[in-house]
Structures are given as C-alpha cells and as structure tokens.
A and B are shown apart, each in its own frame.
Chain A
C-alpha cells in the first residue's frame, strides 16, 4: 500500500493553507459585494448558501486543527494532524460543491446585476488550480502521486476510473437539484438547464483532470533527459494554441466594437454577438491563466530551487493569482462608484495603472530572459521579446486614432503571438540540462 509520510505531511500543510486561502478569498469577495450592494441600497442578503458553507466549515476545520494539534513536538500527533487536514480538505471540497449544486434552484436569481452566482466558485477554482500546481510541484509531489510510477496502461486506467468516480459523484447532487427545481418551480426548462450544467461541469472537470494527468505522466517519464520534460513542452504548446484563440477573439471583438457599422455585414443580434465574444474571451483568458500556471509549475519542478529563474516563476504565479482576483473584483467595485467617479478614474487613473502593469510585465520578462540566458544558457535571441513589448507600447502611443485601432490591435497581437512562438520553439529545442551520474532523475 502506498503511504508516503513525506507526501502525507506536505499534503496536510498544503490543504490546511488551501482552506485558509479559500476562506480569505471568499471573505474579500463577500465584503466587496456587500459594500457595493449597501452603497447601491439593494442589499437583501449578505451570504449565499455556498459562502456560508465555506465560512462555517473552513473556519471550523482550521479552529479544530489549531486547538486539537497545538502540541507539534510529538511525531504521532503530527501524523494525526496531517491526516486530519487531508480528510478535512476532501470533506470541504465536497461540501462546498455539494452546497453550490444543491442550492441552484434557490439561487437562480442573479446576486448582483449581471454578476453570475457561480462567480466566486470560478474564482476559487482558478486560484485553487494555481495554488495546487505551485504547492505540489515546489514540494516535488505529483497530483497522481500514488500511481504515477505505474506503466502507461495502468496509469491511464486509474485516471479514467477517477474520471468515472467524478461523473458519478457529480450526478447525485445535480439530479437532486434538478428534482428540486421541478418540484419548486415546475420548470422543465430549469431542470434541463441543471442537467446541461451537469454535463458541462463533468466534461470540463474531466478534460482538465485528464490534461493535468497527461502532462504529469509525460513529465514523470521523461524528466531525466537533457531537455524540458515532455509534459512541460505539451503544456507550452497548448498555451500557445489557447493564446492564439484568445488573440483571434480579441481581434474579432475590436473589429465589431470599433468598426464602421456600414462596413460590418448585416448580422442579426450584433449586440448579443459582441457580448458572446467578450464572454468567450474572458473564459479563454481564465483557461490561459490556468495553463500558464501549469506550465510554470512544471518548469519550477525541473530547475534548482534557489535560482533566479525559479524566483521569477514564483513571482509570475503570484501575479497570475492576483490578476484573476483583480479581474473578478474590479467589476464589483466599479458598480459601487458613481458615473462621475468612474469617468474621473478612467481619465486620470487608468492610464497610470496600465503603465504600472506594463512596467511590472516588462520587468518580469527582462528577469525571465536574463535567468534563461545566464542560468540555462538559452539563446539571447529571446531578448527580442521584451524589445517587441516596448515596440508595441510605442506603436500604441502614436496610433491612437479610432480608425486604425483595429489594424493596430492586429499588429500588436501578431507580434505577441510571434514572440510566444519564438519562446516555445527555443524552449522546445533546449538540450542543456546536465544528466546525473546516478542515472536517477534529480528534479522529479
């Protein structure tokens, strides 16, 4: 039986910090929404059922853990503590998702204007992925650690059996929620919507889990070579593809929003189409955030922990999480502001914020390229990437006219994609890791 004390100990720590993070993020989200609703004078309820479960269960687990295991010196108590957090984290996730699904029929009305009521769950899901990738890979633990060493057939059989368990596990609360919907509102359409949500959730989570398992196994089997592990390279390639899709959506959005109405073909429901493209772009960006997080965590697992490259990767992971938090909370904060304040902020502050964001991005790129060239000896041609970013900004300063905005965005996006293709090709072809004399993988 697989029972690794190091992994149990690390998982216990990772899960306890994960629960704390989930409670803190929920607190920030709820506080932002409550203040906004109070300012608007439309505050009816402070917490949704899901948020209440997160607070009660999360704080409860952390308090019980703190009181029950305050004496950390005894090894047996430490074992119990780690096992407690591992089990509690499972219960926490099941309870939160269960509460969310079961209460769908009671929360179909939107909480905050156009804010969908699963917004918080989406935020927790994306930050949860980033946190788990980072925490597991920096501790050299695979997510499928208990069967990663098995051969391909056995490994993927276990992966698919886990996916089967996921489908069955989600089926129960969703079917109950659908029955609630039918009994409460006598709405067949509502029931079908919930069943459709079951299908889309199950398919989405299965594809994510399968992809994570695929890259993990590919990395595990090839990490001893001189190249970036195969899982890392697959993640890079998928990132590039999703970035391309996101870029196309951005160009389509700008084309419709800034285009001359007479030149746009006669499309019915143009407004709905623009909203649809905008939503798809947001989703693609969230997916891209998760994929970039996965790729960086794979890179972290293959480089020395005290290197500049590793530090840059850690900062990037933090910035990814902060950007998701910011993009979720900003629309809520904006609703609390009057039109005058928004106009003032738009005229005076947004330019400075964009500049700050650019400076941070550019600094991180410069440090990343410097670390790649100095520590891994990768080609200096990569300096073209930060140079191209500066070029794009200069171009956008000079070409601000509405009539050439579409062309300007297309050129910017093409340069961005070209930079990423260059980075992917160079990292893909890299052969510079030193092999260990023991023929055992060092950074696995």
Chain B
C-alpha cells in the first residue's frame, strides 16, 4: 500500500475520484497506484506530485532506495 500518497491525498482533502479527475485519469488507476497494483510512469507520478504539492522523493521513493 502506498500510504504516503494516500496520506498526502487525504491531507489535501481529496477523494480518489477528485484526484483522478484533476489529473485526467480514472479512479481505478489512482486506487491501483495506492494499492501498489500498478507501476506508474514518471510522467504520471510528477502530475500526482504537482497536485498533491509533494516531490517524487516524498511519495514514491522508499527510504532505503538509492
């Protein structure tokens, strides 16, 4: 589960549907990214970060990743 992304989304008071609508993807895609069932491209990750006001490091990089 990508808890960091879910947390960032909830802090912005956005539902999966709202976030999906802003980015222009489906609700299911956001759901699958949060469940770690889909590996998004950097482009999509950047869009998500922009809307949630975070960096790629904040949301998608594990602490022990290099």
* Docked complex: B30-55 residues within 8 A CB-CB of A: 31-32, 35, 38, 40-41, 43-44
Q: Which of B6, B24, B26 contacts A141 (CB 8 A)?
A: B26
Chain B interface, >50% SS class: helix
- For A384, the chain B residues whose CB sits under 8 A away are none
The proximity string for A residues 1-43 relative to B, scoring 1 for CB distances below 8 Å and 0 otherwise, is: 1111111000000000000000000000000000000000000
> CA A4 – CA B23 in complex, angstroms?
9
- For A3, the chain B residues whose CB sits under 8 A away are 24-25
Query: Is B13 at the interface (CB under 8 A from chain A)?
Result: no
> CA A148 – CA B21 in complex, angstroms?
11
Looking across the interface, which residue of chain B has its beta carbon closest to that of A145? B26
Query: Is A416 at the interface (CB under 8 A from chain B)?
Result: no
The proximity string for B residues 5-34 relative to A, scoring 1 for CB distances below 8 Å and 0 otherwise, is: 010001000011100110011111101100
- The interface stretch among A187-195, A391-399, A436-444 is A436-444
Could you tell me how many residues of chain B have their Cβ less than 8 Å away from some Cβ of chain A? 21
Looking across the interface, which residue of chain A has its beta carbon closest to that of B30? A440
Is A6 a contact partner of B15 (Cβ separation < 8 A)?
Answer: no
Nearest chain A CB to B25 CB, angstrom units: 4
- For B41, the chain A residues whose CB sits under 8 A away are 5, 75
Q: A75-B41, A440-B16 are in contact. Are A6 and B31 (CB under 8 A)?
A: no
Q: Which of B15, B31, B43, B44 contacts A444 (CB 8 A)?
A: B31
Query: Is A285 at the interface (CB under 8 A from chain B)?
Result: no
Is B38 a contact partner of A6 (Cβ separation < 8 A)?
Answer: yes
Q: Which of A5, A75, A140, A149 contacts B20 (CB 8 A)?
A: A149
Is A149 a contact partner of B21 (Cβ separation < 8 A)?
Answer: yes
Q: Which of A7, A438, A441, A442 contacts B29 (CB 8 A)?
A: A7
> CA A441 – CA B32 in complex, angstroms?
11
Looking across the interface, which residue of chain B has its beta carbon closest to that of A146? B26
Scoring A141, A149, A440 by chain B CB atoms within 10 A of each residue's CB, the highest score goes to: A440
Is A140 a contact partner of B32 (Cβ separation < 8 A)?
Answer: yes
> CA A444 – CA B40 in complex, angstroms?
18
Looking across the interface, which residue of chain B has its beta carbon closest to that of A148? B26
Nearest chain B CB to A41 CB, angstrom units: 56
Is B31 a contact partner of A4 (Cβ separation < 8 A)?
Answer: no
Looking across the interface, which residue of chain B has its beta carbon closest to that of A305? B37
Is B26 a contact partner of A440 (Cβ separation < 8 A)?
Answer: no
Q: A75-B41, A444-B31 are in contact. Are A7 and B26 (CB under 8 A)?
A: yes
> CA A442 – CA B10 in complex, angstroms?
16
Could you tell me how many residues of chain A have their Cβ less than 8 Å away from some Cβ of chain B? 20
- For A441, the chain B residues whose CB sits under 8 A away are 27, 31
Is A1 a contact partner of B24 (Cβ separation < 8 A)?
Answer: yes
Is B29 a contact partner of A6 (Cβ separation < 8 A)?
Answer: yes
Q: Which of B6, B17, B38 contacts A149 (CB 8 A)?
A: B17
Q: A5-B40, A6-B38 are in contact. Are A140 and B28 (CB under 8 A)?
A: yes
Is B24 a contact partner of A6 (Cβ separation < 8 A)?
Answer: no
Is A444 a contact partner of B27 (Cβ separation < 8 A)?
Answer: yes
Nearest chain B CB to A115 CB, angstrom units: 42
Looking across the interface, which residue of chain A has its beta carbon closest to that of B38? A6
Q: A5-B41, A6-B38, A149-B20 are in contact. Are A438 and B28 (CB under 8 A)?
A: no
- For B29, the chain A residues whose CB sits under 8 A away are 4, 6-7
The proximity string for A residues 378-417 relative to B, scoring 1 for CB distances below 8 Å and 0 otherwise, is: 0000000000000000000000000000000000000000
Q: Which of A6, A148, A149 contacts B40 (CB 8 A)?
A: A6
- For A1, the chain B residues whose CB sits under 8 A away are 24
Q: Which of B20, B24, B31 contacts A442 (CB 8 A)?
A: B31
Q: Which of B6, B17, B25, B35 contacts A4 (CB 8 A)?
A: B25
Scoring A6, A141, A441 by chain B CB atoms within 10 A of each residue's CB, the highest score goes to: A6
Nearest chain A CB to B20 CB, angstrom units: 7
Is A4 a contact partner of B24 (Cβ separation < 8 A)?
Answer: yes
> CA A7 – CA B28 in complex, angstroms?
10
- For B28, the chain A residues whose CB sits under 8 A away are 140-142, 444
Given contacts A2-B24, A439-B15, 8 further A-B contacts (CB under 8 A): A3-B25, A4-B24, A6-B25, A6-B26, A75-B41, A140-B28, A142-B26, A442-B35
B interface, CB within 8 angstroms of A: 6, 10, 15-17, 20-21, 24-29, 31-32, 35, 38, 40-41, 43-44
10 pairs of A and B residues whose beta carbons are closest in the complex: A4-B25, A140-B28, A6-B29, A440-B16, A4-B26, A2-B24, A6-B38, A4-B29, A145-B26, A5-B44
A-B contact pairs, 21 of them (CB 8 A): A2-B26, A3-B24, A4-B24, A4-B26, A4-B29, A5-B25, A5-B43, A5-B44, A6-B25, A6-B38, A7-B29, A75-B41, A141-B26, A142-B26, A142-B28, A438-B16, A440-B31, A442-B31, A442-B35, A444-B28, A444-B31
